[in-house]
Each structure stands twice: as structure tokens, then as C-alpha cells.
Structure 1
Amino acid sequence: MRDAQLYFIAGPTASGKSAAALALGTQTGGVIVNADAMQVYQGLRIITARPSEADEARVPHRLYGVLEPSERCSAGRWARMAADEIAAIHASGKPAIVVGGTGLYFKALLEGLSPIPDTPPAVREAARARREALGAAAFRDEVIARDPGMAHLPEGDAQRLMRAWEVFEANGKTLTYFQSLPRTPLVTVEPQKAILAPPRDKLYAQCDQRAGEMFAQGGVEEVEALIARRLDPQLPVMKTLGVSEIAAYLKGALSREEALSALQQSTRRLAKRQMTWLRHQMEGWPVREEGLGFGD
């Protein structure tokens, strides 16, 4: 373990990833790098289950709470930031420990990124307006007419369909074209990898506990402050687990007990989706019920 320079720890929500990374960082003198799409945002420590201030002081943490909620963080943007952090950590002579539940982030680091130009905000807004004007089915037809490679997307996959529309509108070339271009991995050090996946009963119990902690430890106040900012509801941060359930409670649409029950169910569903994605997309990664299996 002392010779390893890079560790990747993936897993569903509430699987114990952060605690495992903290223990590994303490043991190795490493630096932890966030790979959770929501923990990059400021002001949502409780809702996103970001490590505590005490834990962040105990072992250095990077890319936690670094973006304003009004910003967007694509896999590409995160991967470039993470690659820079990993390079700086290695330059300091320490190992890097990348941990999170956003599997696409790990794939972006390991496999590289499609060289898709950034889309201007005005084009993103135009895509949303176009979908609203045409309706979901007709909008999908228009996207596929431009980019037949997107025919596998159902009309309900608004995010990916709008992305394909945006790319063609802004560049005159299809998303399929950009995705076909060669990619270069953003990390050159071979990582030790593990997917932390507790037994289902244990994982779901931890999901329920996590949801309860959101209500008990300040998550309601975090969501109240977020709502007060009147941000675009399409921003990624507004889709954070817990925001819709707690917002419904704050509006009086749900009782506290109903909101908690809904949040527990949403947390379990998210864990199930993440676990399915990781098992299918992270082929060759060791799956561990307990421990990381990195050796001594």
C-alpha cells in the first residue's frame, strides 16, 4: 500500500465510501479528492453528506464545496479539475484517493473525454425553449433528424436530447461525431480500484439513517436557503437528493413524516440505480462488501 499513488473508491450513496477514504487517507498520508457530482457545491454539506469539517481537517480534502450552486459541473469540467488536483498531490509526494458515487466521473478520468466544445448559455436556453415549444415527442424527432446516433434515447430523456440539440446548434456537427473522436486518459498512473457495496439490507438501512440525518442535522435549513436564492430549477444543484422532498415539506405539501418517508425511498432508489450502473459500467472493478481490499 505504501507504494501506491492513486486509489479510486466508488460506491452507491450511504455505502460508507467517505469513512473508508478517511481511514485510507489516515493510513497512507494521502489526500482525498471528491468524485461526487453534488458535493462540489457550496452550502449543502448535510444534504449531500459531505465530510464534516472535522474530517476535512483530519485528512486533506479537495474539490469539496468549490463551486457556487448557480454553476454547472459537467463530467468534463470535473475531470479536468480532478486531474489537476491529482497531479499536484503527486508532485507533493503524496497518494491521491478519489472517492464518490458518480461513476461517470471515474470513467472520464480513466477513458478520457470527447472533445466537445463548450455550449454558450444562450444555446442551452434555446434548447429548453425549443423542447417546450415542440413537445417531447416532436423535439426527439428533430434531434434524431439532425443526429441519428441519438435514436436510442427515449423522449423522456430530456437532458441528453437537449444536449445533442445544443451541440449541433452551436457547432454544426453532431454529438455522435464528437463522441467518436479519439480520447486520451487524464490519468497515467494505474489506480487501485474498489466498489464498496454493502449487502442490500445493510445498505438500505444506512440509506434510511442518512435520510433521517438530513432532517435532524440541518438539511431543512440548507434547502430553505437554497430555495431563497431562486435559482434556475434546471440547474444540477436543484436536483440534489433531498431538495424536492424537503421543499415539499417547507411548502406544506407534505408533513415532516411524509417528507422523511419519501426521502428514505428516494435514497434507496438512488442507491439501487447507482449500484446497477457501477456493476455494469465499471467492468473489472473489484466489488467489496466490507473493506477495500487494497492490502496492507
Structure 2
Amino acid sequence: MRQTVAILIAGPTASGKSALALELAQNIGGVVINTDSMQVYRDLRVITARPAREDEALVPHRLYGHVDAGVNFSAGAWLTDAAAALAEAQAKGRVPIFIGGTGLYFKALTAGLSTVPPIPAEVREGVRARLEQNGVEALHAELMRRDPRAAERLKVRDRTRIARALEVVEATGRSLLDWHREGEPPLLPKDSFRALFLAPERDELYARIDARFDAMLGAGALKEVERLAARHLDPLLPAMKAHGVPALIRHLGGEISLDEAAAIGRADTRHYAKRQFTWFRHQLHEFEWVKPAEARGWLAAVTGAGQGPG
């Protein structure tokens, strides 16, 4: 395999991607590059199941925990960081292994991304103030008046996307849909990568999700969320919406029991995994769907490396 070729390993949460990427990186001299929108946050090591420090020490890992939770990190910002990580890997003769579960990041990587200019802080703050004061239905009605095409594509209760679309039209005078049509070229053009989507059986996956959430609680996830809650950050920030975080904050505030919070966290994660299957099936046709038992053989075939331990 040419050293410039990248390997992409995607899949639903808790499907075993990280272990697979680590093993592959050890076998072929690769660098593991995070492609998960929550594992970028340094405040969320436990609750997002980031690779263990001992695993990170075995091979180079990039873009893990390098962003503060107070930052509204975007796919565009990630793509800029990913370009630097890719250039570093290639300069050092290492195979870049992009691994994660965020479909939008993989789409940006392989299909490009829209070039929406930065939104001024005063515009963002104004939109969020109206959201909190008037509610999401009023904000959607405002978007319908100002950008009906975007509004028609969004669910009336989708707070984050409605606020984003309104911010863009208010700051730029143009619809978010127009910006999406005028994008940057992909970082990895066609034929420069091989892509695998790890596809476990649903029942097995959901059992793994439940067990992992309980393990994260045992490993200190509640303390981690308590430190995050103490910062009193904007609840609309991405880090504040990581699976399990809102429910555990509610528990810390005395609203619900820990068992109830854990049940909500497990259910939210299972629902997210279902959405991941749907996204990749409809949006990212370059990915070859592979069962976990066949993944090492697939990787060995495309990289020319030995399969390593089973």
C-alpha cells in the first residue's frame, strides 16, 4: 500500500473501532486520527470513552482532547486540524488512520465542506437569547419568515439546527443551503483512501452500549460531568450535549436518580447508534460495511499487512 493512502474506520458507538484502529496502527506504522465530534473535548475523556492513556502511548494519536468544552467546535474547525494531522502523518511516512463515528466529519473529509464564514459573537448570542426567551417554536417561525427553504427542512423542535440556520442568514444575508452548495474540495479525494464501516448486529451492539455506559460510570464519569457542570457553560454547546451529560447533570441537580440518569444515557446512546447506521447508509456510499469478525481480514487485504492477533 502507498504511504499516502489513508484508511478510514467508522461505525456506531461501542462497535470496537478504537481497538481495531490501534491494532492496525501497530501493524502498519500508522497514526490514529480522531474523527469523533465529542472525543475532541479534553473535559470528556471518560464519558466519551476516549482511548486509554496507555493505548495512546503505543502509537501516535491525534485530535483527541485538544479542544476546551467551552468552544463551539465545528466540522470546519475539525477539518482544518485534520489537514494538519494528515500532513504530519505523510511527512513522517506514517499511514493516516481516521477513526470515529461522526458522519459529518467523514463526509467533510471525503466530499468537502461548505464555507460558511465565522458568525460574529453578538449575532450568536442574540439568537440564543431569543431562543431562551421566546422558545424554539418562535425561533422556527422567525426562520420561516427569513429563510423558508431552510426552515422547511428542519423539525420545529430542533433547537440547535434552527439556531444555526438563523445565525447564518442573520450574519451573512444568505441561506445556509446556499453556503452548503459552495464548498471546499475534499481533503481526501476519491481513490486516495479505503473506508470501512464496522457493522455489528444490533442486539449485540446495544448490549455493548449498555455495558460500556455502566463501565464509564464506574470509571468516574459522574465526577467528570460534575466538574463540567461547575463551569456553568452554555447548555447549547456541543460538549454539554454529549450522550449522558445532560441526564447526569439533572441527577447532580437533584431532579432524577442516578439509575434514571443512567437509563436515559444508555437509551440516548442506543438511539444515536441507530442514527449512525442510517447516516452512513444514505450519505457515505464509499464505506464498505463489514462485520466485526471480518474486519481484520478486510484491513489485511487493503493494507497488505498481517492480521495480527485475533
Normalised-by-shorter TM-score class: over 0.9
- Aligned CA RMSD, in angstroms, stands at 1.8
Query: Which residue of the partner structure matches residue 246 of structure 2?
Result: 244
Say how many residue pairs are matched.
296
- C-alpha contact 1:223 1:247 (8 A) present in aligned 2: yes
Per-residue CA shift, 1:36-75, capped at 9, x if unaligned? Answer: 1111011321101000000000111000010111111111
Indicate how the Cα distance of structure 1 residues 196 and 123 shifts in structure 2: closer, same or farther if over 3 A, else same.
Answer: same
- C-alpha contact 1:13 1:207 (8 A) present in aligned 2: yes
One-letter code of the match for 2:158?
D
Q: Which runs of 5+ in 1 are unaligned?
A: none
Indicate how the Cα distance of structure 1 residues 203 and 112 shifts in structure 2: closer, same or farther if over 3 A, else same.
Answer: same
SS of the residue corresponding to residue 15 of structure 1 reads coil
Per-residue CA shift, 1:74-132, capped at 9, x if unaligned? Answer: 11110111011101111111100000010100101111121110101211111122334
2: CA distance between counterparts of 1:196 and 1:56?
Answer: 21
Q: CA deviation at 1:4?
A: 6.3
Is residue 75 from structure 1 mapped to residue 85 from structure 2 by the alignment?
Answer: no
Is residue 185 from structure 1 mapped to residue 190 from structure 2 by the alignment?
Answer: no
The two structures have a TM-score, normalised by structure 2, of: 0.90
Indicate how the Cα distance of structure 1 residues 163 and 43 shifts in structure 2: closer, same or farther if over 3 A, else same.
Answer: closer
One-letter code of the match for 1:283?
H
Which of residues 260, 272, 278 in structure 2 aligns to 1:270? 272
What does residue range 129-144 of structure 1 map to in structure 2 within 5 Å? 129-144=129-144
Q: CA deviation at 1:2?
A: 6.7
2: CA distance between counterparts of 1:115 and 1:16?
Answer: 33
SS of the residue corresponding to residue 185 of structure 2 reads coil
Q: Which runs of 5+ in 2 are unaligned?
A: 305-310
SS of the residue corresponding to residue 68 of structure 2 reads coil
Quote the sequence identity (%).
Answer: 46
- C-alpha contact 1:5 1:90 (8 A) present in aligned 2: no
Indicate how the Cα distance of structure 1 residues 140 and 246 shifts in structure 2: closer, same or farther if over 3 A, else same.
Answer: closer
Q: CA deviation at 1:143?
A: 1.5
SS of the residue corresponding to residue 58 of structure 1 reads coil
Is residue 199 from structure 1 mapped to residue 201 from structure 2 by the alignment?
Answer: yes
Per-residue CA shift, 1:204-233, capped at 9, x if unaligned? Answer: 111011111111011111011111111111
- C-alpha contact 2:89 2:95 (8 A) present in aligned 1: yes
What does residue range 61-210 of structure 1 map to in structure 2 within 5 Å? 61-150=61-150, 151-188=152-189, 190-210=192-212
The farther-off stretch of 179-188 and 147-156 is: 179-188
Indicate how the Cα distance of structure 1 residues 62 and 120 shifts in structure 2: closer, same or farther if over 3 A, else same.
Answer: same
The two structures have a TM-score, normalised by structure 1, of: 0.94
